[in-house]
């Protein structure tokens, strides 16, 4: 289903990852030791074996693929831990895009890699979709016919997208240079916050506004990461091209582009350039001006001791998603969480929750994805957490499904402590203690 | 935002320096270009191969990192490390009077100062017969090589016992790390003991490649010893080496639990504080996924490692510089003198590094500190050939301890 007409300018081979990069690898196995998928299943030979090692045998017209590479979830841990800066995950994602899949899997992947389109078409049919997603029988049918794991969580389309709820902030042009740009922040909501969790975007915007910042919503669409993960690089490049064409105009004014979805902001910072090969001044300007929300708060917000944070007597487990750690900025949310009085914070000891975007939705990967997350689920239960906090939406849906513990974005709890209004207050059960 | 301390590097020196600074009440952030290389290590603490440090410290050159610590400083550093690692749930056995003598995977004898209990149980100073387990599924460990090597080095009473793994433990790919993870599960241990018990009649002490559990090694060891009714010990294997991996994971978990932030992935460049007339470092600039980001701190610790770890760079011009601040290292300008052709001869580059003052601050050839608030620990220090001396972890711990004390003032 990834058929692209020949001559499509976006359908270029990924030549920017040279074979020589595999020669940086000294085979120390640090990536294999850290890989959460290799720890969960013997079916995956590990990032070193399918990446720098196998890359030596790959030629442009002879991908020479070990089917084991299909087990790579793309979590990116291998690249982050590599002491020699070998782009292991990037190599594997590019190589994986050459794998052949069955027509059934191709159809499924076509659907799950288009969350924006699913929301657009599905919004008028919301009640029907909800019923479909919740019907055990239909989920069984979807698993049998489409290979969509029946126990994997699927999000619900919101009645109105964020861009409709905050139409007052939608802009087609960036503000003028100089004082107009000062104190301005461009919010990259991504399709997930826009269409599925607009309350996260609303509360993030209110919090930024409460700090005296002016938030704008530039033209934007899905970052394209789900397409990239499902082998459709051409489709991903088209979305990336649209986003770069819009966002670079804000970036060039020095206006920070801030996001709450860590995988989408990672796409802007890294995947467009390193995996999709979209290099150039626009891509660089966008990448360098894109910030995770908490990363931006560390830069623009007043020192924490000036914040008026009210106590939240809750026990939370904070799980930094693999996609946030791939930003290579650490865990900026933690400092804010530690500053909230009476909040008991345990930090996740797991590299990845397992779902890795769309990986856990696939029936052939579901069990392994779940196994990857087991340690995290056990830690959350053992900590008797009232809430799991994690920055990526797919992680929230996945962890909530497997632990039964409500999962929220860390900005929601910071907002609650600051007294910033939210459409979706913290769960009542969690407030009892 | 600014931290009290930024530690650059996440090996033994970096993790220890961070934890010791934290235990002195400081806010600490670790920034590391990739994960440290502890998973390549045997997991023991080598202080001085040839015997107790107290006998050797006085003879070392004045710039040797262990000379600066002295045997009292080394002992204090080791004590703090043992407290930390105990808190992390991975207790170590320390033998300061005379070194522990432990078997290696090639059948040689490794002299070391401290080791996790699972390794220390293999002390060759204990008498009585030893068996080495031959596990055919494991590709990179030869029980016969261990046994014949030990015999040739005068260890009497070493035999080999065949111990095939049950399917529940072997899985599809029998790497030590995968087996260790499986043995964390009681059901797999039960299956293992069922298969092995009849093969272990007459065996009192059994040596195995290091694979006895990853998450809860102390509990796994105790459980297997109780079920089998014998004494067990481990021998470190090729990387990923479980004893090193456990040490790394334990220290990292402890860092996280104690509120130390770890920024993993970016390479960094040091920054000078422009308002200090070049006297102070302001922090580092990190090459994050998006672009350069500034991290500020009151003090910075270089724990970037030695020649093999990226701590310094040698240029065609003959200059050798530390990889973060570009400080010149003590090295001959003629590159011909950096290496000796015979790989088993001492190598000049092994001693390249930064010279430091009594607070572990890098100093120039005239003894002046480069920056008032810059400290160094571990392999980046000049004056030691850590591999030949068997002093690698001793230097890491002693210098991390001195740096943490130097920062706390």
Q: Which residues of B touch A290 (CB under 8 A)?
A: 290
Strand B109-112 to strand B374-376: parallel, antiparallel, or no bridges (unpaired)? unpaired
Residues in B closer than 8 angstroms to A295, CB to CB, are 293
Tell me phi and psi for residue A170, to 5 degrees.
Answer: -70, 130
Q: What is the CA radius of gyration of chain A?
A: 21
Asked whether residue A132 carries a pLDDT value surpassing 90, the answer given is no
CB atoms within 10 A of CB A153: 18
pLDDT in tens, B276-334: 999 999 999 999 999 999 999 999 999 999 988 899 999 999 999 999 999 999 888 89
| Residue of chain A whose Cα is closest to the Cα of B250 | A349
Residue A42 touches chain B, beta carbons under 8 Å: yes
User: B15 with B256: CB under 8 angstroms?
Assistant: no
Size of interface A-B (CB pairs under 8 A): 111
| Tens-digit pLDDT profile for residues A173-191 | 999 887 888 899 999 999 9
Write out pLDDT tens, residues A90-123: 999 988 888 888 999 999 999 999 999 999 999 9
B263/A270 CB distance under 8 A: no
B103 versus A55: the higher-pLDDT residue is: B103
Q: Do A80 and B264 touch (CB under 8 A)?
A: yes
In chain B, residues with a C-beta closer than 8 Å to the C-beta of A42 are 171-173, 178
Task: State the sign of the Cα–Cα–Cα–Cα dihedral A13, A14, A16, A21.
Answer: negative
C-alpha distance from A83 to closest chain B C-alpha (Å)? 4
- H or E stretch at A79: helix A77-81
Residues of chain B with pLDDT under 70: 1
User: Is A305 at the interface with chain B, CB within 8 A?
Assistant: no
Has residue A61 got a pLDDT over 90?
A: no
Cβ proximity of B274 and A348 under 8 Å? no
CB atoms within 10 A of CB A341: 10
Q: In this structure, what are the phi and psi dihedrals at residue A289, rounded to the nearest 5 degrees? A: -100, 5
Could you report the per-residue pLDDT of A300-342, keeping only the tens digit for each? 888 888 889 999 999 999 999 999 999 999 999 999 999 999 9
Q: Does A136 score more than 50 pLDDT?
A: yes
Contact B264 A325 (CB under 8 A): yes
Each residue's pLDDT tens digit, A364-413: 999 999 999 999 999 999 999 999 999 999 999 999 999 999 999 999 99
Nearest in space to B22 (alpha carbons), one of B299, B276, B227: B299
Structure tokens at B123: 């002390």
Largest CA distance in chain B: 74
Name the average pLDDT for chain A: 91
Q: How far is A294 from chain B (nearest CA, A)?
A: 12
**Exposed/middle/buried for B54, CB within 10 Å: 0-12, 13-18, 19+?**
middle
Residues of A in contact with B286 (CB under 8 A): 328-329
B-contacting residues in A 373-402 (Cβ below 8 Å): none
Question: Hey, are the CB atoms on A325 and B171 less than 8 Å from each other?
Answer: no
Question: pLDDT tens digit string along A267-305?
Answer: 999 999 999 999 899 999 999 999 999 999 988 888 888
Tell which wins on pLDDT, A431 or B99.
B99
Report the SS3 class of residue A3: coil
Q: Percent of chain A having pLDDT more than 70?
A: 93
Q: For residues B256 and B82, what is the distance between their CA atoms, to the nearest angstrom?
A: 18
Cross-chain residue pair A303–B1, CB shorter than 8 Å: yes
Q: What is the reported pLDDT for A13?
A: 41
In terms of CA atoms, which chain B residue is nearest residue A83?
Answer: B34
User: Which DSSP symbol is given to B131?
Assistant: E
Alpha carbon of B38: minimum distance to chain A alpha carbons (Å): 9
How confident is the model over A253-263, as pLDDT tens digits? 999 999 999 99
Q: Is A211 on the interface with B (CB under 8 A)?
A: no
Question: Given this model, what pLDDT does residue A18 score?
Answer: 53
Q: Which residue has the tokens 């293992």?
A: B192
pLDDT at B377: 98
Which chain B positions have a beta carbon within 8 Å of A34's beta carbon?
Answer: 35
Which chain A residue has the Cα nearest residue B172? A42
Helix (H, G, I), strand (E, B) or coil at A334: helix
Please, which pLDDT band fits residue A5 given cuts at 50, 70 and 90?
very low
At A12 the pLDDT is 43
The interface predicted TM-score (ipTM) is: 0.94
Query: What's the pLDDT score for residue A431?
Result: 45
Going by pLDDT thresholds of 50, 70 and 90, the confidence category of residue A19 is low
Judge: A83–B40 Cβ closer than 8 Å, yes or no. no
* CB-based contact A30 B34, cutoff 8 Å: yes
Q: Please state the separation of Cα B357 from the chain's center in Å.
A: 24
Q: Specify which residues A362 forms β-bridges with.
A: A148
A306 lies within 8 A of chain B by CB: no
How far is residue B72's CA from residue B60's CA, in Å, rounded to a whole number? 15
pLDDT for residue B120: 97
Q: In 3D, which of B147, B60, B31 has the Cα closest to residue B386? A: B60
Nearest Cβ partner for B289 among A34, A328, A331: A328
Give the C-alpha distances (Å, rounded to integers) separating A417 from A336, A412, B27, B204.
Answer: 10, 9, 23, 60
- Whole-number pLDDT of residue A20: 61
Does residue A59 carry a pLDDT above 80?
A: no
Residues of chain B found within 8 Å of residue A303, distances taken between Cβ atoms:
1
- B242 to chain A: closest CA residue: A33
Judged by CB atoms closer than 8 Å, whether chains meet at A32 and B240 is answered as yes
Q: Which of B6, B31, B34 to mutate to test the interface with A (most CBs of A within 10 A)?
A: B34
Q: What is the pLDDT of residue A17?
A: 55
Separation of alpha carbons B354 and B368, rounded Å: 12
């Amino acid at each position: 289903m990834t058929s692209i007409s020949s001559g499509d300018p976006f359908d270029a081979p990924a030549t920017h990852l040279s074979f020589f990069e595999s020669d940086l690898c000294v085979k120390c196995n640090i990536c294999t030791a850290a890989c959460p998928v290799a720890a969960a299943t013997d079916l995956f030979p590990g990032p070193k074996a399918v990446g720098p090692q196998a890359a030596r045998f790959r030629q442009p017209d002879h991908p020479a693929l070990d089917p084991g590479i299909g087990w790579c979830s793309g979590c990116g841990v291998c690249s982050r831990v590599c002491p020699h800066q070998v782009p292991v995950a990037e190599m594997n994602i590019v190589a994986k895009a050459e794998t052949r899949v069955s027509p059934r899997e191709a159809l499924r992947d076509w659907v799950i890699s288009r969350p924006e389109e699913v929301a657009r078409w599905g919004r008028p049919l919301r009640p029907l979709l909800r019923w479909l997603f919740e019907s055990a029988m239909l989920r069984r049918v979807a698993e049998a016919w489409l290979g969509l794991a029946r126990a994997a969580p699927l999000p619900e389309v919101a009645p109105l997208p964020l861009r409709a709820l905050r139409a007052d902030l939608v802009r087609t042009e960036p503000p003028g240079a100089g004082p107009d740009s000062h104190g301005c922040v461009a919010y990259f909501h991504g399709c997930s916050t826009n269409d599925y969790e607009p309350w996260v975007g609303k509360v993030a915007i209110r919090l930024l506004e409460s700090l005296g910042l002016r938030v704008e919503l530039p033209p934007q669409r899905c970052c394209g990461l789900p397409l990239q993960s499902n082998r459709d690089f051409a489709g991903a490049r088209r979305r990336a091209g649209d986003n770069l064409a819009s966002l670079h105009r804000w970036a060039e004014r020095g206006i920070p582009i801030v996001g709450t979805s860590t995988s989408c902001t990672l796409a802007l910072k890294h995947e467009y350039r390193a995996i999709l090969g979209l290099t150039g001044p626009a891509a660089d300007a966008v990448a360098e001006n894109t910030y995770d929300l908490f990363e931006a708060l560390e830069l623009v917000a007043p020192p924490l001791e000036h914040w008026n944070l009210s106590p939240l007597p809750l026990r939370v487990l904070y799980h930094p998603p693999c996609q946030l750690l791939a930003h290579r900025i650490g865990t900026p949310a933690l400092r804010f969480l530690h500053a909230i009085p009476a909040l008991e914070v345990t930090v996740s000891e797991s590299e990845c929750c397992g779902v890795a975007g769309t990986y856990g939705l696939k029936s052939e990967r579901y069990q392994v994805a779940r196994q990857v997350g087991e340690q995290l689920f056990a830690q959350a239960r053992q900590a008797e957490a009232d809430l799991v906090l994690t920055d990526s939406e797919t992680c929230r849906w996945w962890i909530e499904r497997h632990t039964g513990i409500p999962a929220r974005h860390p900005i929601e709890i910071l907002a609650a402590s600051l007294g910033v209004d939210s459409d979706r207050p913290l769960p009542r059960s969690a407030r009892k203690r | 935002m600014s931290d009290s301390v930024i530690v650059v590097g996440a090996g033994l020196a970096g993790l220890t320096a961070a934890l010791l600074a934290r235990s002195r009440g400081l806010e600490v952030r670790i920034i590391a270009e990739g994960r440290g290389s502890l998973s390549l290590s045997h997991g023991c603490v080598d202080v001085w191969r040839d015997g107790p440090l107290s006998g050797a410290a006085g003879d070392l050159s004045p710039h040797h990192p262990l000379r600066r610590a002295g045997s009292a400083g080394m002992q204090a550093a080791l004590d703090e490390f043992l407290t930390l690692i105990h808190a992390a749930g991975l207790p170590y056995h320390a033998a300061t009077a005379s070194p522990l003598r432990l078997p290696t995977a090639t059948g040689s004898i490794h002299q070391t100062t401290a080791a996790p209990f699972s390794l220390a149980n293999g002390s060759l100073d204990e008498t009585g017969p030893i068996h080495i387990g031959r596990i055919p599924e494991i590709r990179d460990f030869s029980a016969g090589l261990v046994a014949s090597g030990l015999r040739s080095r005068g260890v009497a009473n070493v035999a080999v016992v065949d111990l095939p793994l049950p399917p529940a433990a072997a899985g599809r790919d029998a790497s030590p790390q995968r087996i260790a993870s499986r043995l964390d599960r009681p059901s797999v241990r039960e299956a293992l003991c069922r298969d092995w018990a009849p093969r272990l009649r007459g065996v009192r002490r059994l040596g195995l490649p290091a694979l006895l559990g990853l998450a809860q090694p102390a509990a796994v060891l105790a459980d297997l010893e109780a079920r089998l009714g014998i004494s067990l010990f481990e021998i470190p294997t090729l990387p990923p080496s479980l004893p090193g991996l456990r040490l790394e994971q334990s220290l990292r978990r402890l860092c996280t639990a104690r509120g130390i932030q770890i920024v993993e992935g970016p390479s960094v460049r040091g920054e000078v504080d422009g308002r200090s007339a070049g006297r102070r470092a302001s922090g580092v600039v990190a090459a994050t996924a998006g672009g350069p980001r500034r991290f500020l701190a009151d003090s910075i610790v270089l724990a970037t490692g030695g020649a093999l770890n990226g701590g310094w760079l040698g240029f065609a011009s003959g200059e050798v510089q530390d990889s973060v601040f570009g400080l010149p290292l003590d090295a001959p300008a003629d590159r011909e003198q950096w290496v000796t052709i015979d790989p088993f001869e001492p190598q000049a580059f092994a001693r390249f590094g930064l010279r430091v003052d009594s607070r572990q601050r890098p100093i120039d050839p005239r003894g002046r500190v480069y920056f008032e608030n810059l400290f160094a620990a571990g392999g980046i220090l000049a004056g030691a050939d850590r591999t030949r001396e068997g002093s690698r972890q001793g230097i890491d711990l002693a210098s991390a301890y001195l740096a943490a004390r130097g920062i706390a003032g």
